[in-house]
A and B are shown apart, each in its own frame.
Chain A
Amino acid sequence: MRIFLSTVILLAISALLIFAVAEMPAFGEGAALAHEGIMPKFVREAQFDTGANNVIAAIILDYRAYDTLGEATVLFVAVVAVSAMLTKGHIK
């Protein structure tokens, strides 16, 4: 019963996802909105704005540096969490 239910639910979700994918604009299509939004500026002006040749570095470390600070913090959380859990000791 449980397997039957999960199969039905998963099939329904996959059907939805397949239809959603069918509706997506084709990858790399010029008119796709993801390319029209903010990308052209990054490609054209990143070098002038940041002085970096690598546009990816310009985006992640300048335009969106706050996000990268967050991503670095995720690593920090992982390390602190692991060392907090593995450290042996006694609670008095």
Chain B
Amino acid sequence: MVHAPVLIVVTLLLAAFIVPLLYRKLPVAQVVFLLGIVISSIFSIRMAFLVLREGTLTYYLGGWLPPYGIEVVADAFGAYASLVLALISLPISYFVVFAPKEVNTPARYMALILLLMAAMQGMVLAGDLFNLFVFIEICSLSAIAIIAVKGTRDSIEASFRYLVLSALGSGGILFAIALIFMITGHLNMGYVRESLAVTASLYPLNILTALAFIFVGFSVKAAIFPLHVWLPEAHSNAPTASSALLSGLVVKAYLVAFIRIMYMVIGTELFVALPLRPILLILAACAMLVGSTFAIVQNNIKRMLAYSTVAQMGYIVLGLGLFSQRALEGSILHILNHAITKSLLFLAAGVIIKQTGTNRLSDLKGMGRKMPFTFAAFTVGSLSMVGIPGFAGFVSKLYLALGALDIGQIIFAALILVSSLLNATYYFPIVVNAFFGQTEATHQGSDPRKSVMAPLAVFALAVVFMGLFPSVVMPLVRQAAGLLQP
């Protein structure tokens, strides 16, 4: 039996329990923190290779076979999501340890990040509805906590708003799970699906209610368009590393969990039969346009990036709504590409704010010549966001557009183009002004030391690498997309 699917989570949890005990010996705590992340990432990478070679891995907790025990299902999609989480968390945790501290309690902050990572890994691998809910709970709480630890008035207000909305979402999901359990008598996703095929006609209204609550609950958590209102404040007022984690990984982990529920519990047939696809398409289109439009008018660099996340989540949802093979591949690939790019941008923005002391875009004119490396990294991220060929964002957008054309939805291919143009209108001025703006910059600043720059360099290289050689992950992405569309 391969223990990797559960050891990924357990390693992170164990490290999370040990780290806060070592708050007086910070270097030791940092070592434990990095060890936890690295070991769990190794398990995750190993699992991805195994899944690619041998197909879906299942793990029965406590040796109890489903439907009685808890099952962990590492299928291609789950393994891919777990791999994304692991790979993105490595440079970010390096940044947490080596960048200048933004929080009073570094040991507890590291513990919260470990708990968040454990919860996300558990979420994307869960094969049991209640197990999924438990990890959603941990993930929500720790995501809120890593915003609030910054301790400023704004961050506490933002995290409180996030807390209220997120708790509402959790309640909705729990209610839906209770309804499903009442109807089917099972919590294991596979058994629920089998049972639903029989009982769906007996309790249609209950199932519809459950689906509605699941959809709304996950929309709040994954910031799908009309319920994204908490995101800009929460993501922009968090400490730098938290922003990168939240924007790069957390919203996507929820979306992955939602997609897994869709194909493991609801089943693709029911998903296509219900009017869920048009709803997703409309919401995605609104997210792409509204998110980008709001991003254009922002003058705060982190708020702009947060609104951009709303728009980019729209791309991922769009691929889901289009539901053609290539669109799904594009959507799944965009999960990784956006995670790398947005983490890079948020880390760069954090470094810029720290070094210059300002978060206003209008103050950054000419700063590119003072901080060439930081702004070079920011430029790479911007190019990827806009979708310039040769950078990561281009590949997934191309797949999405081709997927839209495959099923004759020219309007959505055009929408991707329009949204990319909107992206260009808010990313490029920053870069152009930074490098070619007037020299009389009012703010001082220089590139930080090399150890702070290293994660940015890693992410920037990854963006270029993914732009040139997307075929590295494509086998896994194809398998994952195949799961969604039988």
Contact = CB atoms under 8 A, between A and B. Distances in A.
Question: Is any CB of A less than 8 Å from a CB of B in the complex?
Answer: yes
Interface of A: 16-17, 19-20, 23-25, 32-39, 41-42, 62-67, 69-71, 73-74, 76-78, 80-81, 83-85, 87-92
A52 B130 CA distance: 23
Mostly, the B contact residues are helix
Given A25-B182, A42-B68, A70-B122, A81 B112 contact: yes
16 contacts: A20-B205, A20-B206, A33-B182, A34-B184, A38-B186, A64-B61, A64-B70, A66-B70, A76-B115, A80-B112, A81-B142, A81-B148, A81-B149, A83-B105, A84-B103, A87-B108
A81 B150 CA distance: 11
B444 interface: no
A77 B13 contact: no
Contacts of B282: none
A66 B131 contact: yes
Given A20-B206, A38-B68, A80-B20, A73 B115 contact: yes
Contacts of B101: 91-92
Contacts of A35: 185
B32 to A, nearest CB: 14
Given A33-B183, A38-B185, A78-B141, A91 B206 contact: no
Contacts of A17: 209
A7 B130 CA distance: 32
B141 A74 contact: yes
Nearest to A34: B185
Contacts of A19: 205
Contacts of B111: 80
Contacts, number: 139
B275 interface: no
A91 B102 contact: yes
B105 A74 contact: no
A60 B358 CA distance: 51
Contacts of A77: 112, 115, 138, 141-142, 145
Given A24-B182, A73-B13, A65 B151 contact: no
A-B residue pairs, 4 tightest by C-beta: A37-B185, A70-B134, A81-B145, A89-B104
B91 interface: no
Contacts of B62: 62-63, 65-66
A91 B186 contact: no
A34 B178 CA distance: 10
B429 interface: no
Interface in B195-221: 195, 199, 203-206, 208-209, 212
B62 to A, nearest CB: 6
A39 B181 CA distance: 12
A36 B137 contact: no
B69 interface: yes
Contacts of B145: 77, 80-81, 84-85
A63 B108 contact: no
A51 to B, nearest CB: 14
Contacts of B307: none
Contact of B61 (A38, A66, A85, A91): A66
Given A42-B68, A84-B103, A84-B105, A74 B137 contact: yes
A67 to B, nearest CB: 5
Contact of B115 (A24, A38, A63, A80): A80
B445 interface: no
Contacts of B191: 37
B453 interface: no
A39 B6 CA distance: 26
A64 B133 CA distance: 13
A29 to B, nearest CB: 11
A14 to B, nearest CB: 12
Contacts of A83: 20, 105, 108
